[in-house]
Amino acid sequence: MDGTSLQVMLRRMTIFGLLDILILMLIFSSISISGNGILAGFTLGIGLLLTFYGITTTIRFARKQNKYDLKFANLLQFLAGFFLIVGIIQTIIAVLAGNLIVIFQGLLLILLGNATRKRVLSIRHPQFMEWYNQGINSPTVLREEEVYASCPNCNSLLAVIPSLLTPIDQCPNCDGLLVKSIEEE
Per-residue pLDDT tens digits for 51-79: 999 999 999 999 988 889 999 999 999 99
In contact, 94 and 106? CB cutoff 8 Å: yes
CB 77 within 8 A of CB 124: no
The torsion angles phi and psi of 170, rounded to 5 degrees, stand at -120, 155
Min mean pLDDT across 11-20, 113-122, 125-134 is at: 125-134
Check if the beta carbon of residue 76 is closer than 8 Å to that of residue 116. Answer: yes
Helix (H) or strand (E) holding 147: strand 147-150
Q: What distances in angstroms separate CA 7 from CA 33, 132, 148, one per listed residue?
A: 39, 9, 20
pTM: 0.68
